[in-house]
Chain A
Amino acid sequence: MLKLPVYLDNNATTPMDPRVLEAMLPYFTEHFGNAASRNHPFGWEAEEAVDYAREQVAKLVGADAKEIIFTSGATEGDNLGIKGVYEMYATKGNHIITCTTEHKAVLDTCKHIEKTGGEVTYLQVQPDGLIDLKELEAAIKPTTILIAIMYANNEIGVVQPVKEISAIARKHGVLFFTDATQAVGKIPVDVQKDGIDIMAFTGHKMYGPKGVGAIYVRRKNPRVKVTAQMDGGGHERGMRSGTLNVPGIVGFGKACEICRLDMEKDTAHIKVLRDKLENSLLQIEESYLNGNKEHRLPHVSNISFKYVEGEGLLMGFNKNIALSSGSACTSASLEPSYVLKALGLGDDLAHSSLRFGLSRFTTEEQIDYTIEQITNTVNKLREMSPLWEMFKEGIDINTIEWAHH
């Protein structure tokens, strides 16, 4: 049975797993205590639940529970991880290396640091979206304190060579931070094997609740510290003050446990559907896959349909299929996706892109329906597109002098 509308925007957020909700519910009502209340059973229950969740979260990423600091989400984690290192290690240096395709939470944090006297190198990515390791190593200088490179990209799903990056960081005595928001829960992430020093991630991208996330901060080899970005009661080993969001944390913990136990099964299911979707859509003339095909999250695909504009395309089916586009028209800034532009895509291809993000709840019927709807809409809009007509007549649209406005 086809269930509409189809949700394929799971990189934006995932639906919460009913098992997660079930785990959370008692902590809104009967077990409502403050985890910091040390002197009565309400507090003890809450603290116990948080400790249990901390174990669940730590286990998913191969960390020790003590290394998990709960936050409000990945944006806070990115801020705390990067600004926290910048302030804590100020005597050691002020230089940070990141890349141009990071999430805005990382890029804007780096811009903030530049305003306060820090120095940031923004590495370009290669046309497949991956950074060049030689460029990374060459960018390191005596003042470099941090390399901040995301685990997997939110728009194109490419997975950076994290192990190689951490090896370079180690070799030069530089800390390695990674925004693993899209990767944790989807692919195996292990802070030990991957050599990660600080890592931000969040619940709502992995079937957990919104408003809760975590930052991993290494305690051994080396022992890492970050300066708190919020003053208060000194919760979370002094790194993140604020009363703990107990129901959220319980749900986040449960979501991590389910992801750990079901990852193999989920991935097998999702990858088959993603590949079916992608292979079918790439059959459409003049459609292009964006980003590296091999080093990529199993649930993500980003495709440009040349000569068709993304928002116009979405409009053909967005009552029934939820998707994102790299088109300027779908963003507040009216600029096309900076990630796609960083790959060297022309603005026209960036405007023509769709991002697909599947989940454990996506069904084959939904994928078949999506393939049909998109194919029909692309064909319909191309019949209406002057650029398609020119292409078919053999006119190179790049040779036309367009009036820019």
Chain B
Amino acid sequence: MAYSEKVLDHYTNPQNVGTLDKSSKNVGTGLVGAPECGDVMRLQIEVDDTTGIIKDAKFKTFGCGSAIASSSLATEWLKGKSVDEALQIDNMEIVEELNLPPVKIHCSVLAEDAIKAAINDYRAKQGLEQLVFEERIH
């Protein structure tokens, strides 16, 4: 299977690889996927106290090139967004941006799930209720 230029670019030069302090109150961590399924994504956001804007985002991913590219792209998109705006990121936007083929759509779903899991973790730390998302099969 040939990869799109954008997937190759994110794979070769991944953006925002790294780890934020997960014990910090302003950091939300989402860990999704499973090693048996061949992909695990960890996505972290750091939210500015006063503005409510995501000022930093980091990821680490075990998975194929499309999974790495999806999480790299997600961190790029997250930075500078408010938490509410971040919730609007839809996996299909990732699919379109990276030209993912149908067999790789699950990578984008995983990235969307990671964003939501990170936000819920952040909300929990802030004493906010958990958001309930539609169950999806991927």
Q: Count contacts on B: residues with CB < 8 A to the other chain.
A: 31
- Cβ A386 vs Cβ B40 within 8 A: yes
- Cβ A307 vs Cβ B17 within 8 A: no
Q: Which residues of A contact B87 (CB under 8 A)?
A: none
- Cβ B35 vs Cβ A347 within 8 A: yes
Write the A150-176 contact mask toward B (1 if CB under 8 angstroms, else 0): 000000000000000000000000000
Q: Which residues of A contact B38 (CB under 8 A)?
A: 309-311, 327-329, 336, 347, 351
Contact residues, A299-315 vs B (CB, 8 A): 307-312, 315
A384 adjacent to chain B (CB < 8 Å): yes
B80 adjacent to chain A (CB < 8 Å): no
Contact residues, B55-108 vs A (CB, 8 A): 60-65, 67-68, 103, 106
Q: Known contacts A329-B64, A402-B36; decide if A384 and B14 are in contact (CB<8 Å).
A: yes
Q: Which residues of A contact B35 (CB under 8 A)?
A: 346-348, 351, 387, 397, 402
Q: How far is the CA of A334 from the CA of B42 in the complex (A)?
A: 22
- Cβ A327 vs Cβ B64 within 8 A: yes
Q: Count contacts on A: residues with CB < 8 A to the other chain.
A: 29
Q: Known contacts A312-B67, A315-B11, A334-B103; decide if A386 and B36 are in contact (CB<8 Å).
A: no
Q: How far is the CA of A383 from the CA of B38 in the complex (A)?
A: 17
Write the B1-36 contact mask toward A (1 if CB under 8 angstroms, else 0): 001000010010010010100000000000111111
- Cβ A384 vs Cβ B34 within 8 A: no
Q: Please name 25 pairs of A and B residues whose Cβ atoms are closer than 8 Å in the assembled complex, sorted by A.
A: A308-B62, A309-B39, A312-B11, A312-B62, A312-B68, A327-B64, A328-B38, A334-B103, A346-B36, A347-B37, A348-B35, A351-B38, A384-B62, A386-B31, A386-B41, A386-B61, A386-B62, A387-B35, A388-B62, A389-B19, A389-B60, A402-B36, A403-B34, A404-B34, A405-B106
User: Which chain A residues have a beta carbon within 8 Å of chain B's beta carbons?
Assistant: 307-312, 315-316, 327-329, 334, 336, 346-348, 351, 383-389, 397, 402-405
